[in-house]
Amino acid sequence: MKDEQILTDIQVQKVDAQTDQLIRSKDFAFTMYEDEDCKKEVRTVHADQESGTATFTDLPYGIVYIKETQAPMGYLLSDEVLKVEINEEGVFFNDELVDPDKDIYSYRYLNELVPSVPTGDDTNQVMLWMLLFGALAGLSATFCYFKNSSNSLSK
């Protein structure tokens, strides 16, 4: 008699760190590795953009490491590495036992928005400088006109 291997699914949820809401409608990817240094790739899973999750299916007993390898557009790439251990006692995330009464085991990855960078759209400053130079040009022309007219009167 041979026992069938018990297989487990691990779901990774992408969550906005500020709003605590799932990040949907954006592609992202997680990669599973066999080593803690994340060098020996096992497989990569892309987002289900409707649910804001990525799911690794049919995982056997053992230890694997999961890391974000493609961040959602507009978010920073997380450097967090999740250690997943699956054994006869249950599923452990970073050495903590997860509730054993679940059909699917979920882990929430928080993502920070990319800091906003000035876009270079200085339209208001450009207009201000144009007005300033226009006013200076007008004052210069007026000064030159009166200086020339006062010189022609004195002759």
CATH of the domain at 29: 2.60.40.10
According to the model, what pLDDT value does residue 64 have? 98
Same domain, 35 and 56: yes
Q: State the residue range of the domain holding 129.
A: 121-155
Distance separating alpha carbons of residues 43 and 128, to the nearest angstrom: 56
Residues 13 and 48 in one domain: yes
Q: Does residue 1 belong to any structural domain of this protein?
A: no
Residues 107 and 145 in one domain: no
Q: Which two tokens stand for residue 39?
A: 């060098």
Q: Please state the pTM of the whole predicted model.
A: 0.71
Q: What is the pLDDT of residues 6-58, one digit of tens each?
A: 789 999 999 999 999 999 999 999 999 999 999 999 999 999 999 999 999 99
